[in-house]
Amino acid sequence: MSAYHWPDRVEDLRVRTREFIRDVVIPREPVPGERMGAQTRAELQQAAKDAGVFAPHVPTEFGGQGLELGWWSPVLQEAGYSPIGPSALNCMAPDEGNMHMLNMIATPEQKQQFLVPLASGHVRSCFGMTEPHPGAGSDPDALRTIATRNDNGWVIEGHKRFISGAIGAAFCIVMARTEATDDAPAGATMFLVPMDTAGVRIGEPIHTIDRYIDGGHPHLYFDAVQVPEDAVLGEVGRGFRYAQVRLGPARLTHCMRWLGLARRSLDIALDRADTRSLFGRPLRELGLAQNLIAESVIDIETADAIIAKAAALLESDPKRGSAMSSVAKVYCSESIYRVIDRAVQLCGGDGVSDGLPLAQYLNDVRPFRIYDGPNETHKWAIARRASAARSRSIDRGALPMGEAIVRADERG
């Protein structure tokens, strides 16, 4: 990765993160198919703090490195070079997205209660949006969990599923439907709910092929959960709007972390191509191998460029950035899988064995085409924006497509 366009402080953190991941984290990786233990996580997080690379995305006032969103990618890619690197640096999903949202919209009191321990790595969290069918999933408007106001605040009733990180989490940011009041519209509202609140119950686990999100993906039940008025995160009825504050950057940081793993996979394949011979020639000199390598380089560099553009837009124009993050999510989730799959092919039988980590990497990145919204849902939205932009641009003198899409988005 070239540093020609990065400030010196970003390059310094990137280099130190790179060294920390290779020298400290990679030697502590679990064998393929196993999870990192809590003790290892705590030790690596302390080591990251000592090395000055902990929580790169968190403001310095909360113990992080204070990087602006536009500069997250080079550092998070270095963290993602190891599948446990993001956890060691406390920039793993779902905590990273929750930290970002809490920093953006929480009250000072909420930040002290929830953000401070989360940013320090002392606790984990989860985000309660997805529900069993026919509830919220690809369509957030199908939200069925409800919150009703009473004299003591709010009562939450609902059933969530696939709540990543819920096992062992200290609190959940819960999305629930609320009715209109005199000062708030009907819609969705976010609530900060400690997991030890009466009526909160972790249900049956959902066993998945990925291994590196702490806390699994279980069902989560809210049975007459009473929370105070100050449990509301942001404003009542504005939950879907706040969700975009979280989801745009969160889906993009998935791209950053997994792109780091794609780079690791290509490095493994390049090492194999350099040391193995076939038909009397080094594998790296065979045209079929060269084609696989070249296609992977193209996928990695294209993904890197899309991420950089989306990150810059999220800082300068969040609405445009959110739209571009959908493009990045679709492209990166598919191209990263292709890179790792080619690496498996180049490594032959070892690629599908536990002698190399590549098969587990495939298992870890495959769900990304579903997590943060299925790619098909994102493609549907991308196509609708493009069609609307084109039809409207005709009346505006055929604007360039990029500008037309932005203006169409601005008008809904």
Domains of the chain: 8-120 (1.10.540.10), 125-236 (2.40.110.10), 241-410 (1.20.140.10)
Percent of the chain's residues with pLDDT above 90? 82
In this structure, what DSSP letter does residue 184 have?
A: B
Percent of the chain's residues with pLDDT above 70? 94
Mean pLDDT taken over the chain: 92
pLDDT of residue 397: 59
Q: What are phi and psi of 94, to 5 degrees?
A: -85, 0
pLDDT of residue 280: 85
- Beta pairing class for 171-178 and 125-128: parallel
pLDDT of residue 319: 87
Helices 72-79/239-275 angle, 10° precision: 50
pLDDT of residue 4: 54
Q: From its phi and psi, is residue 206 left (phi > 0), alpha (psi between -120 and 50) or beta? A: beta
Q: Are 305 and 256 in contact (CB under 8 A)?
A: no
Rounded Cα distance, 147 and 6, in Å = 45
CA angle 199, 139, 407 (to 5 degrees): 130
Torsional sign, CA 28, 30, 35, 39: negative
Q: Is the pLDDT of residue 222 over 70?
A: yes
The arithmetic mean of pLDDT across residues 295-307, rounded, is 98
CA angle 388, 392, 394 (to 5 degrees): 125
pLDDT of residue 389: 84
Q: pLDDT digits over 358-402, tens only?
A: 999 999 999 999 998 899 999 999 999 999 888 877 666 555 545
Confidence of residue 3 (pLDDT cuts 50, 70, 90): very low
Torsional sign, CA 345, 351, 353, 354: negative
Confidence of residue 212 (pLDDT cuts 50, 70, 90): confident
Rounded Cα distance, 228 and 208, in Å = 35
pLDDT of residue 408: 46
pLDDT of residue 407: 47
The arithmetic mean of pLDDT across residues 87-91, rounded, is 98
Identify the burial level of 109 via C-beta atoms within 10 angstroms of its C-beta, where 0-12 means exposed, 13-18 middle and 19 or more buried. Answer: exposed
Rounded Cα distance, 187 and 241, in Å = 10
pLDDT of residue 279: 87
